[in-house]
C-alpha cells in the first residue's frame, strides 16, 4: 500500500483534464457520462481520480502561524514604527520636501518665477550689444590677416606717397 502512495497513478493522457474537471464537479452532461463509462473499464483512470481526491485537498490546506507569532510580529512592528517617528533628522525633513506630492508644486512655482523674470526683468538688467562688438571684430579681421603682407611690401611706410599718387590733382 505504501508503494502505491509513493508512485503516482498514470491516467490515460486524453482523459487527465476531464478527470480533474470531474473531481471538481465541472464536467456535466454527455461528457460526464462518457467518462463514467470509461472509469468502469479503466483501473488506471480510477486510481488517478482517487489520488486526486487525496492530494488536491492537501494542496489547499493552509499553514496558519500560532497566535504568539502574530503577537510578537505586532509588537516588533509597533516598536519599529515608534522608532521611525521619534527619529526625524534634518536630512529626513529635507527629503520630505521632495516627496512626490510636493514636486509638482515646486515645479509650478519655478515655472511661474522664470516666466515673471523673463517677462518683467528685460529692462532691469543692462545688456551688452554683441552685434557692435562682432561688427568691429569683422572689420578688423581682414586687416589683421593681411598685415604681414602690407609690412613685407613696405606699403604702410609709404602710405602718404601712395595717396598722393592716387590723387594727382591734390598734389599741387
Residue 74 placed within a domain: no
Whether residue 86 has pLDDT greater than 50: yes
For residues 43 and 143, which has the higher predicted lDDT (pLDDT)? 43
What pLDDT is recorded for position 172?
47
Query: Rounded to whole angstroms, how far apart are CA atoms 100 and 78?
Result: 26
Number of domains in the chain: 2
**What percent of the chain shows pLDDT beyond 90?**
8
pLDDT digits (tens, 9 = 90+) for 45-60: 888 888 888 877 777 7
The CA distances from residue 144 to 77, 133, 138, 151, 155, in Å, are: 80, 16, 10, 11, 15
Query: pTM of whole model > 0.85?
Result: no
Residue 11 placed within a domain: yes
Residue 68 placed within a domain: no
What's the residue count for the chain?
Answer: 172
Domain-terminating residue out of 60, 77, 108: 60
Domain-terminating residue out of 60, 77, 102: 60
The owner of cell 486526486 is 52
pLDDT digits (tens, 9 = 90+) for 22-42: 878 787 888 888 888 888 888
pLDDT digits (tens, 9 = 90+) for 87-143: 767 777 777 777 777 778 888 889 999 888 888 876 666 666 556 667 777 777 777
Give residue 2's pLDDT band: very low, low, confident or very high (50, 70, 90): very low
The owner of cell 611690401 is 153
**45 within 8 A of 15, measured Cβ to Cβ:** yes
Start-to-end CA distance of the chain, whole Å, equals: 142
Residue 84 placed within a domain: no
Taking the mean position of all CA atoms in its chain, how far away is CA 92?
A: 24
Q: What is the DSSP string of 99-119?
A: STTTHHHHHHHHHHHHHHHHH
Residue 146 placed within a domain: yes
Taking the mean position of all CA atoms in its chain, how far away is CA 146?
A: 59
Whether residue 68 has pLDDT greater than 80: yes
Residue 111 placed within a domain: no
Query: By residue range, what is the domain housing residue 34?
Result: 2-60
Amino acid at each position: 500500500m505504501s508503494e502505491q502512495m509513493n508512485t503516482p497513478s498514470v491516467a490515460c493522457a486524453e482523459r487527465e483534464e476531464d478527470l480533474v474537471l470531474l473531481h471538481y464537479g465541472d464536467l456535466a452532461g454527455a461528457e460526464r457520462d462518457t467518462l463514467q463509462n470509461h472509469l468502469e473499464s479503466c483501473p488506471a483512470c480510477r486510481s488517478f481520480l482517487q489520488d486526486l481526491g487525496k492530494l488536491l485537498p492537501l494542496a489547499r490546506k493552509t499553514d496558519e502561524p500560532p497566535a504568539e507569532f502574530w503577537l510578537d510580529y505586532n509588537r516588533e512592528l509597533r516598536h519599529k514604527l515608534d522608532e521611525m517617528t521619534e527619529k526625524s533628522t534634518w536630512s529626513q525633513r529635507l527629503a520630505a520636501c521632495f516627496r512626490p506630492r510636493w514636486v509638482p508644486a515646486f515645479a509650478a512655482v519655478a515655472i511661474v518665477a522664470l516666466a515673471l523674470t523673463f517677462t518683467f526683468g528685460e529692462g532691469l538688467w543692462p545688456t551688452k550689444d554683441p552685434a557692435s562688438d562682432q561688427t568691429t571684430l569683422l572689420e578688423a579681421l581682414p586687416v589683421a590677416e593681411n598685415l604681414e603682407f602690407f609690412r613685407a611690401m613696405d606699403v604702410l611706410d609709404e602710405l602718404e606717397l601712395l595717396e598722393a599718387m592716387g590723387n594727382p590733382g591734390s598734389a599741387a
